[in-house]
Chains A and B, each alone.
Chain A
């Protein structure tokens, strides 16, 4: 609105810096909170696709070392020879890094914005009605998942914690790593955090993207709950399967 507006009544305090006018739309969208939430939802959806595919791929461990290693090896030759070896794998890696980066960056900036919006907290305890545990702990479950991601890459991609680590010997590395109870415990705890994160995120993204209709509103929560239970449940089962000897070398 360009017309001059006369200010009446009490002044409202300025809390955040207002948006600059006449920006190109991607800049404008990113500088708005709704835009950042949209980015968070879309990258979250992409990352959900990744954790789902990752979990399905890991199911190969129940077929034995040969199948599992062949699957790990096959990721390097996706779309080969149209795309050079490792090409698709690296495209996925770059895509995942970008999605993680944007997801974390928007979360960080929105959290800062929210803290500025209430500098003085309630001095008496709050009694939440709708805000569930998952929603209220998104920042913490997110941090746990981020730290776990670094640990997981260090453990099974770079072999930081295992002197017998052999590059590209995926099955043996996995079994050696997960047969150590403390490592298995890290995997179990982190994947429970992932499940909690997905339970809120898998529902929240629909609202953020404006996907709301009485036709499917009921199914949104069911989708998030099912997705969280299937992905996190299977991921928690992998270390248990190794510890109990269902998967062994």
Chain B
């Protein structure tokens, strides 16, 4: 049975990266089977009908796999439901008469584009600096040519579940991106195919990460906010690989000329 909810929203409005922002209040009535983004769509329709500027927010697949959406809802990244991206959060998690405060991700490396949309290009820079993995090109090799233990494949898959939404940075009191970066590093470092460039990749990605974000102090807040429930265990693995990369022969890291 669909219930109608009367909600009081407090939404961050900001015209552009360099203009000051402020909270604006809206009240709306939506069905409890609407998703959080559908609720915002509905508010936007009302705003457009009133000839006012709609609220800008990022979204794409709306099925929790693209990593586009991401809002700070009542002080929690992606809202109150664990393991859920904003688009998969439904209004049935809220009660009639609730006050909901919506803010964009906040980090120096994630400048606000407009209202609730932030620029997460810093994540792309981290991925880019990871470079390539060495594989044979030409005819495709047999599917099971490279043996991968089931456990390693599972662990790598857990890391690869990262959708790059930025909730870890948003939730972290230090704005650290260690959960994101460690997931992106470890999904390769756990597999045989990722061994060739293991330390090169770890070092480059950590250094790029640290030019944008804060440092990890092991709050564990990222793990709770992650819509893919990626574990802070990967951060420990990254720390270990980064420390080892210090002792790897620099020629292997491409930092010293050979000969």
Contacts and interface: CB of A to CB of B under 8 A. Distances in A.
Interface string A102-118: 00000000100110111
Interface in B38-75: 72, 74-75
Nearest to B112: A120
Interface string A158-174: 00000000000000000
A208 B218 contact: yes
A17 B106 CA distance: 20
A1 B176 contact: no
A81 interface: no
B237 A125 contact: no
A16 interface: yes
Contacts, number: 186
B215 A37 contact: yes
Interface in A1-47: 1-3, 5, 8-19, 21-22, 25, 28-29, 32-38
A129 interface: yes
A29 B210 CA distance: 12
A16 B124 contact: no
A34 B181 CA distance: 13
A119 interface: yes
B94 interface: no
A210 B243 CA distance: 9
Interface string B63-97: 00000000010111000000000000000000000
Contacts of B221: 128-131
B164 to A, nearest CB: 13
B129 A37 contact: no
Nearest to B244: A210
Interface string B198-229: 00100010111011111111111101110000
Contact of B255 (A3, A21, A29): A21
Main secondary structure of the interface of A (DSSP, over half): loop
- Chain A interface: which size bin? 35 or more
B122 interface: yes
B177 to A, nearest CB: 9
A126 to B, nearest CB: 4
A66 B119 CA distance: 69
- Chain B interface: which size bin? 35 or more
B206 to A, nearest CB: 6
A30 B49 CA distance: 57
A51 B23 CA distance: 49
Contacts of B130: 1
Interface in B96-146: 101, 103, 106-109, 111, 119, 121-122, 124-125, 128-131
Instruction: Please name the 8 residue pairs, one residue from A and one from B, whose CB atoms are nearest each other, closest first.
Output: A210-B240, A212-B236, A117-B214, A127-B75, A33-B215, A130-B220, A114-B214, A131-B219
20 contacts: A1-B130, A1-B200, A13-B108, A15-B213, A28-B246, A29-B243, A29-B246, A32-B210, A34-B216, A117-B212, A124-B101, A126-B76, A128-B219, A130-B221, A135-B217, A135-B219, A136-B173, A208-B239, A212-B233, A212-B237
Interface of B: 10, 12, 21, 23, 72, 74-76, 101, 103, 106-109, 111, 119, 121-122, 124-125, 128-131, 173-176, 200, 204, 206-208, 210-221, 223-225, 232-233, 235-243, 246-247, 254-256
Interface of A: 1-3, 5, 8-19, 21-22, 25, 28-29, 32-38, 110, 113-114, 116-131, 135-136, 138, 200, 203-204, 206-212, 217
